[in-house]
Amino acid sequence: MIDFSYTAWILLLPIFLFIVIGLLGNRFKPIVSGIVGTSGLFIIWLLSLVTAYKYFFVLEKAADGSFLKFMAFNMRWLNLTDKLHIDMGVLLDPISVMMLIVITTVSLMVHLYSIGYMHGEKGFSRFFALLSLFSFSMLGLVVATNIFQMYVFWELVGVSSYLLIGFYYTKDSAVAASKKAFIVTRFADLGFLIGILMLSYVTGTFDFITLTGPDSPALTSGQGVWFLGLSTMTWSMIFVFMGGAGKSAMFPLHIWLPDAMEGPTPVSALIHAATMVVAGVYLVARLFPIYVFSAPVALDIVMWVGAFSSIFAAIIACTQYDIKRVLAYSTISQIGLMMFGLGVSGYGGHEGLGYMASMFHLFTHAFFKALLFLGAGAIIHAVHSNYMNDMGGLHKNLPITHATFLIACLAIAGVPPLAGFFSKDEILAAGSERSLLLYWVEMIVSGLTAFYMFRLYFSIFWGKKQEYHQTPHEAPKTMTIPLMILALGALLAGLIPFSNFVTSDRLPFVSHLDMGIAIPAVLVGLTGIVVAAFFYLKETDIPDKVFKALGSFSQAAFHKFYIDELYLFITKKIIFNYISRPVAWFDRHIVDGAMNGLAYITNETSDRIKKLQSGQLQQYALVFISGALLLVLLFVYLWTS
Amino acid sequence: MFEGIPLHWFLILGTIMFFVGIYGFLTRKNLITILMSIELILNSVNINFVAFNKFLYPDHLEGMFFTVFIIAVAAAETSIAIAIIINIYRRLVDIDVDKMNKMKY
Amino acid sequence: MSILTLFIIIPLLTIVGILFCKTDMQVKWVSVAGMGLQFINAIALILLFLAERRAGNIAEVLFVQDNLWYETLNIHFHVGVDGVSVAMIGLTSLVVFAGIFASWEIKDLHREFFTFLILLSSGVFGFFISLDLFTMFLFYELAVIPMYLLIGIWGSGPRHYSAMKLTLMLMGGSALIMLGLIGIYLNSAPNGGPLTWDIIKISKETLPMDMQRFLFPLLFVGFGVLGAMFPFHTWSPDGHASAPTAVSMLHAGVLMKLGGYGCYRVAVFLLPQAAHQVGWIFLILATIGVIYGAFGALWQKDLKYINAYSSVSHCGLVLFAILMFNQTAMNGAIMQMISHGIMTALFFALIGMIYGRTHTRYINEMGGLMKVMPFLSVAYVIAGLASLGLPGFSGFVAEMTIFVGAFQNADIFHRVVTIIAASSIVVTAVYILRVVGILLLGKIRNDEYEQLTDAKWYDKISVVSLILGITIIGVAPLWLSDMITGGLGPIVQKLLAAAPMMP
């Protein structure tokens, strides 16, 4: 057995970087922070690569040929009850190792890119400190050995995301967006917490290995009907999924993600495209055996939510003009696809195709979506606008960005042999075995995906020529190199035989391309591209006509189906006006009023009786003497009778 | 010298003096007269003491002693009272008891 | 003499020292020296305590000193600590230490201010180390009464009203407590023998049931007033708003904990049967307090009011957890007290410093402070994040322990109140982020604020020491949680014996 305990450094190094850059960053030139942060992350990246290599290729496998699932390192953090305790440690299994690679690679690229992108910004070193904090939190989340450690880091990624979205803290929209992101995910986290409480009460453990192992207490306990005809275990898994849905921006908790684009673009690429938002998918994957065996209803919910979110977001993405928002909705749609993949999956071998495909898509998506965002960042950097109406004909000015952006678009549209093709094909294959209806829904989604991505591509790089104040020019090397590396990933990641490494039961199996699904999927994708080219390659009025022809539906889609307005209504009107204000009023006037009233009554009473103390000597004497006389008479009367 | 005068005559005198004193105390507005009324009350008590002593316990002298005490205390009290009254007069230029209610509540 | 007696002697000596000082500067430095010594003493106590426990000393209370004080009523000066009181002493010394630095710029009457402040702290220390109900009550009053003067003389706004309201409500609570304590004393020997005020001795007895049912509400409400239990919390917003910075810090940070600690140490510990019978009423009140405080804070515009309502919510959680009657939740309650104590002291310190610069506490009048006072703003964000229960800070540890513990009660009533109380974390996030968003972020709304200065060195000492406190507990909670758990043993056993059906 190889000693993996050094993996603790993968966690310790970034938090150390955060503290050092955070405290000392302002003492040096800003660039120092950037270099320190990037080189620190480079070391972490190397450590992760070494870990992955050792885990997948050197480490011996279990007796049945499956990859081991073990704790490289674990220490007690807090004792709760006799049975329950929170540990902090590093759990290694195929998905956590895979996530290590994804996070460190994308994070390294983003660090490198940010040196160029954030150049000259105020708060440069703060940015790098926060990136380190985020890397720490995200790495801690994926290697969590128990569900509570995951929750701890889950909250930490939430707050790093909050701080990074609100990076431009003097901009009101950024502040509002960061607040919204935090509160929506916090609300979802409440569900996660309740789910954890129920799960841990029923099973008596937080530990992932115990929970998902063959003798898991989750398989036997909590199966009885508890509420609304569902078992305790099902409810707890539904609540846990609520947390996952919040972080992964699934409908109806997706509203924060588009607004989160107010953050700097590298942040969007790292957090809101490649890593944090897939945490929900990762969470479901982590607890997958429980979902499959103990809570199939909850898994069905995962499937439906995933499928609905993917089509819903894809439709909205076709109508947006802010390029980062298009990408954000595209992210929601793609994550919906991953959730769908998990939802349709079974356990073990070919049954678990959906699981494998979902993880595979997570892996490839990280590359091309980070690439898209970084590309968008380079474009915004060049033209100083987020709106595609302000762009056009940029293919000559930004050759490298253009090429890499095209690769990413082809990858996400599912054109073979790029990365997205393989993973999406597997998900569709898994879906077709489960539900034909949803299979076709996802087919439409992939058509829409191709359409809106190429709508974006054509309107930015082709279409009408724009007059720019300054001629847009290519970004500096620190920005283009990450683009090229990620483009390489988007080109080649699909060729990895993923089912040899990551499967639901950790046993490798051979998956092959199903031509019956691949061919229609590719055709649908190409149709989307052709339609987009037809609409947007040259400046035409077809899009407007189509938009008008669809009438109120397209209007609704443009307004994101009014979900934001609904939330605003609930929070501002109902909670703020109809709960919080009455509570404040009640407190001031009823509770406090009662106290003040008590004081008032005391005061009044004393005011009334104090009149008796007139200060008139003779009045006092009269009362005194009559009292004395009365007493004497009383005594005499008592004495004699 | 008082042979033949029965006890209740003394008591009647004492009672009349007492109630005259009380009446004066309650009704007069002048502090000096109020003081004089107090003296009346005290002296009515003195008469009672002396009379009871003489008639009930002729061979004891406690009643006489008490009377002497009361006279002494009354003298002291009067001197203090008059001092207070003079001070009040200096401050208020008045010794009407109805106006002396500055220390109420 | 036990090390504990030093906790009373050091403040008294400091006061004597202050009386001999000539200048204001000397007064401050004598206070710093005294309270610094006290802080070191507290750390020494924690280390000694842990060492004793590790050496296998399993006595219920350590460092005992017992002197007969007034024989007729069998009153003793009896001190001793278990894990819980050690933790509370650590909290107090930290907050007092930070409070001295936070009141560096107090306007006038330095000598009197610091004298009362330290007198108050000695009352608090005395309360936490006492094992004799009578001396405990004596120290309790000693802690409450200087508050009136501190708010009435050095306060701001409607300070006379607030000081009077606070004092009268707390005195009302004290009256109930006194009744309850006398009741306990008179029933302290149900099996014959001399009556006693000794907590440890009484805890070994079972008081008559009808007496318990009468005394428990008295004591719980009496201490609950100080612990800001709904609906007896309204002294808190006004009192905090008018109090000077250090007094707010001490009051919210430490004095309100006397309430929670009293509920735990006296009401629940000595009257467990009654606690089981009527605890549910107070559990409902506590749950209402948790949610109600959070929603109340959402609407406020004055920084101190926001924080006062937030304290109602957090302290409600303390009472909530105490009434869950199991080890985990009680552990959480103690940790919540400590965590909230440091956190809210930090908040009030920062509010005081911000107010000292902007001369307003209305959030709508401020904005964009991050730009002009980065240190204070970052500290405020940290305090806010700690308050909304972010991992890495003490609040998270405490809240999670409470919720996990509360969830161990399997019946539907406890489940429902737990979920209701847990949902407060969302509302907390909303009001904290609202304040942070309006107050610190965005553009500067008032041009005069461009001239404001950031924290001075004494501000920094105060703030950094408190931030270190919440971070250390938040990052490495195991030692604290285990220390507290050790102290909870007797009370949990007693509660289990009172209700054998409990899981």
Look at A563 and A315; give whichever has higher pLDDT: A315
Q: B44 to each of B48, B51, B70, C36, C197, how far by Cα in Å? A: 6, 11, 11, 75, 58
CA C406 to chain CA centroid, nearest Å? 21
Percentage with pLDDT > 70 across chain C: 99
pLDDT at A321: 84
Q: Over chain C, what is the mean pLDDT?
A: 86
| Cβ–Cβ under 8 Å, residues C156 and C244 | yes
Instruction: Report chain B residues whose CB lies below 8 A from the CB of A622.
Output: 26
- Which chain B residues contact residue A613 at CB under 8 A? 104-105
Residue B69: predicted pLDDT: 93
Residue of A nearest to C369 (CA): A170
Q: What is the pLDDT of residue B2?
A: 62
Phi and psi, residue A18, nearest 5°: -60, -45
**A613 to B97: CB separation less than 8 angstroms, yes or no:** no
Cβ–Cβ below 8 Å for B104 and A625: no
The answer to whether the CB atoms of A615 and B100 lie below 8 A apart is yes
For range C218-224, the mean pLDDT: 91
Of C168, C368, C426, nearest to A187 by CB-CB distance is C426
Q: How far apart are CA A160 and CA A22, in angstroms?
A: 13
Looking at the complex, does the CB of residue C481 fall below 8 Å from at least one CB of chain A?
A: yes
State how far residue A186 is from chain B, nearest Cα, in angstroms: 60
Establish if B68 belongs to a structural domain. Answer: yes
Confidence of residue A224 (pLDDT cuts 50, 70, 90): low
Q: pLDDT tens, C321-367?
A: 988 888 888 899 999 999 999 999 999 999 888 888 888 888 888 87
List, in order, residues 6 or more apart from C6 with CB less than 8 Å away: C41
At B80 the pLDDT is: 94
Q: Are A262 and A323 in contact (CB under 8 A)?
A: no
Answer whether B95 touches A (CB < 8 Å).
no
User: Does the residue B105 lie in any domain?
Assistant: no
Work out the percent of chain A whose per-residue pLDDT is above 70: 98
Residues of A at the B interface, defined by Cβ within 8 angstroms: 610, 613-618, 621-622, 625
CA distances from C346 to A327, C224, C250, C341, C468 (A): 41, 23, 10, 9, 11
Option in A613, A616, A621 nearest B105 (CB): A613
Residue A621 Cα to chain centre, angstroms: 85
pLDDT for residue C502:
44
Beta-carbon contacts of A514 under 8 Å, excluding residues fewer than 6 positions away, are: A425, A429
The answer to whether C and B touch (≥3 CB pairs < 8 Å) is: no
Counting as contact any 3 or more CB pairs under 8 A, the partners of B are A
* pLDDT bracket for residue A427 (50, 70, 90): confident
Question: Which residues form the domain of B51?
Answer: 30-99
Report yes or no on B53 lying in a domain: yes
State what percent of residues in chain A have pLDDT above 90: 8
Is the model's pLDDT at A383 over the cut of 80? yes
For residue C448, the tally of other CB atoms under 10 A from its CB is 9
CA distance, residue A452 to nearest chain C CA (Å): 34
Query: Helices in A384-469 by DSSP H: which ranges?
Result: 399-413, 419-434, 436-461
How high is the ipTM of this complex?
0.90
At residue A222, the pLDDT reads 64
Residues of A in contact with B105 (CB under 8 A): 610, 613
| B105 pLDDT higher than 70 | no
Lowest mean pLDDT among C61-65, C100-104, C495-499: C495-499
B97 contact A CB<8A: yes
Q: With CB atoms and an 8 Å threshold, state whether B104 touches A622.
A: no
Q: What is the pLDDT of residue A225?
A: 67
pLDDT value at position C58? 79
Is residue A560 scored above 80 in pLDDT? no
Contacts of A621 in chain B (CB under 8 A): 25-26
Q: What is the per-residue pLDDT for A125?
A: 86
Question: pLDDT tens for residues A496-515?
Answer: 887 788 888 788 877 777 77
- Shortest CA distance to B38 belongs to which of B83, B87, B3, B73? B73
- Poorest-pLDDT segment among A215-224, A574-583, C291-300: A215-224
Nearest to C328 among A80, A581, A595 (CB): A80
Alpha-carbon distance values, A120 to A30, A68, A117, A134 (Å): 8, 47, 9, 22
Question: Can you tell me the mean pLDDT for A130-148?
Answer: 90
> Looking at the complex, does the CB of residue B15 fall below 8 Å from at least one CB of chain A?
no
Q: Name the helix (H) or strand (E) containing C34.
A: helix C24-54
B81 and chain A in contact, CB less than 8 A: no
Residues of chain C neighbouring A201 (CB-CB closer than 8 A):
407-408, 410
For residue A148, list chain C residues with Cβ-Cβ distance below 8 A: 400
Question: Which of B98, B100, B102, B103 to mutate to probe the A interface, most A CBs <10 Å?
Answer: B98
Residue C387 contacts A where some CB pair is shorter than 8 Å: no
- Taking residues A231-245, report their average pLDDT: 88
pLDDT at B44: 94
Is B90 contained in some domain?
Answer: yes
Residue A618 has pLDDT above 50, yes or no: yes
Do A615 and B27 make contact, defined as CB atoms within 8 angstroms? Answer: no
B8 in a domain, yes or no? no
- Arithmetic mean of pLDDT, C457-475: 89
| Residue C142 tokens, joined | 């000693």
Q: Which range of residues forms the domain containing residue C481?
A: 3-501
Out of C295, C296, C433, the one facing A182 most closely (by C-beta) is C433
Say what the pLDDT of residue A630 is: 94
Least confident of A419-423, A463-467, C64-68: A463-467
Residue A420 clears pLDDT 50, i.e. is over it:
yes
Residue A277 has pLDDT above 60, yes or no: yes
What are the angstrom distances between the C-alpha of A602 and each of A25, A76, A606, A609?
61, 57, 6, 11
Report the greatest alpha carbon distance in chain C: 75
Task: Tell me the average pLDDT of chain A.
Answer: 84
CB contact under 8 A, A169 and C434: no
Q: Which pLDDT score is estimated for A426?
A: 84
Instruction: Tell me phi and psi for residue C452, to 5 degrees.
Output: -65, 150
Residues 295-314 of C with CB under 8 A from A: 295-296, 298-300, 309
Question: Which residue of chain B has the CA closest to A607?
Answer: B105
Residue B5 located in a structural domain:
no
Confidence (pLDDT) at B78: 92
Contacts of C388 in chain A (CB under 8 A): 186
Q: Determine contact: C190 vs chain A, CB below 8 A.
A: no
Model pLDDT, residue C199: 85
**Structure confidence at residue B16 (pLDDT):** 94
Res C501: pLDDT: 46
d(CA A329, CA A310): 9
Put simply, whether B27 touches A (Cβ < 8 Å) is yes
Please indicate, yes or no, if residue B2 is contained in any of the structural domains. Answer: no
Spatial distance between the Cα atoms of A71 and C277, rounded to a whole number of angstroms: 46
Domain count across chain B: 1
Q: What is the DSSP string of C288-339?
A: HHHHHHHHHHHH--BHHHHHHHHHHHHHHHHHHHHTT-SHHHHHHHHHHHHH
Residue A151, pLDDT score: 92
Task: Answer yes or no: is pLDDT of C500 > 60.
Answer: no
Q: Do chains B and A touch (3 or more CB pairs under 8 A)?
A: yes
Residues in chain B within 8 Å Cβ distance of A614:
101, 104
pLDDT bucket at B43, cuts 50 / 70 / 90: very high
Q: How far is CA A108 from the centre of its chain?
A: 20
- Asked if the structure places residue B89 within a domain, the reply is yes
Size of the A and B interface in Cβ pairs below 8 Å: 27
**What would the pLDDT profile of C166-213 be if each residue is shown by its tens digit?**
888 888 899 999 999 998 888 888 787 788 888 888 888 888 888 888
Rounded Cα gap, residues C477 and A576, in angstroms: 36
Please count the structural domains in chain C: 1
- Which one of B22, B27, B97 has the shortest CB-CB distance to A617? B97
* Burial label, A471 (beta-carbon count in 10 A; 0-12, 13-18, 19+): exposed
A79, A176, A194 member nearest C422 (Cβ): A194
- Both structure tokens of C87: 């933790």
Interface of C with A in 76-105 (CB under 8 A): none
Best mutation target, C381, C407, C450, to test chain A (most A CBs within 10 A): C407
- pLDDT at position C503, please? 39
Please tell me the distance in Å from B51's CA to the nearest CA on chain A. 22
Task: Tell me if A618 and B26 make a contact (CB, 8 A cut-off).
Answer: yes
Tell if the CB–CB gap between C410 and A579 is shorter than 8 Å.
no
Give residue-wise pLDDT tens across range A433-445. 888 888 888 888 8
User: Contacts of residue C441 in chain A, CB cutoff 8 Å?
Assistant: 166, 169-170, 175
* C158 shares contact with chain A (CB less than 8 Å): no
| Mean pLDDT to the nearest integer, A201-228 | 77
Contact A81 C404 (CB under 8 A): yes
Q: What's the residue count for chain A?
A: 641
CA distance B63 to chain A (A): 23
